[in-house]
């Protein structure tokens, strides 16, 4: 088994980006997904970004800024974070895993089961992506569709902190990874945005009336037909819950 040969802990973002330009380099944040790749010999140089200061959560106007190195446990505990997102963080794994895993890493992995990502989609998440050309804000749907057109590092995520949220999920056990989830948000103009887990290769925003024509994924836990059936039922429940809500709140039913 081959292990990476060189370990770096850069002291600045610019230094990290220079190192990232080397062949077979990989960014190490929490390490929950990267370390297995390193052990399999898929990277020769590790760039540990622990020292770059991306651990803060702050409120700025109507948006909350989440550092890419914020752990999922910190995300679940910080009261500046919208309640639905805090709850979603609890479903990403055990507390030991949540203490290690980071928000940035969760976005990069982009698992279809990640309810954090679905919640971020409803909250109009913008990814602050740093490359050698500078920093730019990238809408989360665009990033999920075309991740890293050139080598870069996620430094922060910006989300809205207002709106009414509702969440429905189906899993084999209450705290198991979801099979299908629907998270909805209603804004001040009464517009509803629905995000779905377990239908596409990543969580995604869909209109309810587009489900009949959507080509869902399938695996041993659920066929395409079963997943779409669940999505229709859950989206109706979420929409109904949002229609009944008339104050800022976050609702979740198991």
The tens digit of pLDDT for each residue in 173-204 reads 888 999 999 999 999 888 999 999 999 999 99
- CA dist 84 and 90 (Å) reads 10
pLDDT-based confidence at residue 144 (cuts at 50, 70, 90):
very high
* Global confidence as pTM: 0.90
Range of the domain at 66: 54-160
Based on the fold, state whether residues 168 and 240 are members of the same structural domain.
yes
Based on the fold, state whether residues 173 and 112 are members of the same structural domain.
no
Is residue 167 classed as helix, strand or coil in its secondary structure?
A: strand
Based on the fold, state whether residues 199 and 238 are members of the same structural domain.
yes
CATH of the domain at 11: 3.30.43.10
pLDDT at 39: 63
Based on the fold, state whether residues 183 and 215 are members of the same structural domain.
yes
> Dihedrals φ, ψ of 155, to 5°?
-105, -30
Based on the fold, state whether residues 173 and 83 are members of the same structural domain.
no
Based on the fold, state whether residues 68 and 131 are members of the same structural domain.
yes
Quick: pLDDT tens for 203-241. 999 999 999 999 999 999 999 999 999 999 999 999 999
104, 130, 160 — which closes off a domain?
Answer: 160
pLDDT-based confidence at residue 251 (cuts at 50, 70, 90):
low
Question: 128 forms bridges with which residues in the sheet?
Answer: 137, 156
Quick: pLDDT tens for 70-100. 999 999 999 999 999 999 999 998 899 899 9
pLDDT-based confidence at residue 41 (cuts at 50, 70, 90):
low
Long-range contacts from 32-39, C-beta under 8 angstroms, 24+ separation: 32/93, 32/97, 32/100, 32/101, 32/105, 33/105, 33/108, 33/109, 34/105, 38/3, 38/4, 39/1, 39/3
Please list the alpha-helical segments (H only) found in the chain.
Answer: 13-20, 34-39, 72-77, 83-89, 95-100, 103-109, 115-122, 140-145, 224-244
CATH of the domain at 152: 3.30.465.10
Based on the fold, state whether residues 37 and 135 are members of the same structural domain.
no
Q: Is 43:25 a contact under the CB 8 Å cutoff? A: yes
Q: Domain total for the chain?
A: 3
Based on the fold, state whether residues 119 and 217 are members of the same structural domain.
no
Is 30 within the bounds of a domain? yes
Based on the fold, state whether residues 147 and 58 are members of the same structural domain.
yes
């Amino acid at each position: 088994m081959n292990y990476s040969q060189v370990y770096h802990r850069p002291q600045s973002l610019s230094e990290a980006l220079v190192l990232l330009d080397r062949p077979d380099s990989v960014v190490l944040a929490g390490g929950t997904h990267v370390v297995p790749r390193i052990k399999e010999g898929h990277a020769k140089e590790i760039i540990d970004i622990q020292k770059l200061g991306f651990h803060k959560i702050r409120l700025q106007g109507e948006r909350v800024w989440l550092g890419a190195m914020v752990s999922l446990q910190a995300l679940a505990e910080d009261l500046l974070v919208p309640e639905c997102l805090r709850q979603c963080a609890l479903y990403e794994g055990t507390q030991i895993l949540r203490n290690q895993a980071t928000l940035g890493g969760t976005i990069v992995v982009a698992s279809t089961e990640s309810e954090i990502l679905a919640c971020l989609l409803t909250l109009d998440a913008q990814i602050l992506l740093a490359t050698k050309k500078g920093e730019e804000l990238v809408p989360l749907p665009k990033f999920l569709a075309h991740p890293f057109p050139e080598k870069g590092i996620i430094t922060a995520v910006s989300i809205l902190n207002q709106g009414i949220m509702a969440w429905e999920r189906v899993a084999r056990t209450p705290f198991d990874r979801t099979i299908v989830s629907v998270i909805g948000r209603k804004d001040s103009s009464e517009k509803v945005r629905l995000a779905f887990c377990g239908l596409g290769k990543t969580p995604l925003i869909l209109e309810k009336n587009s489900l009949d024509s959507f080509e869902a994924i399938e695996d041993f836990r659920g066929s395409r037909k079963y997943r779409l059936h669940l999505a229709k039922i859950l989206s109706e429940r979420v929409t109904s819950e949002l229609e009944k809500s008339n104050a800022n709140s976050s609702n979740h039913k198991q």
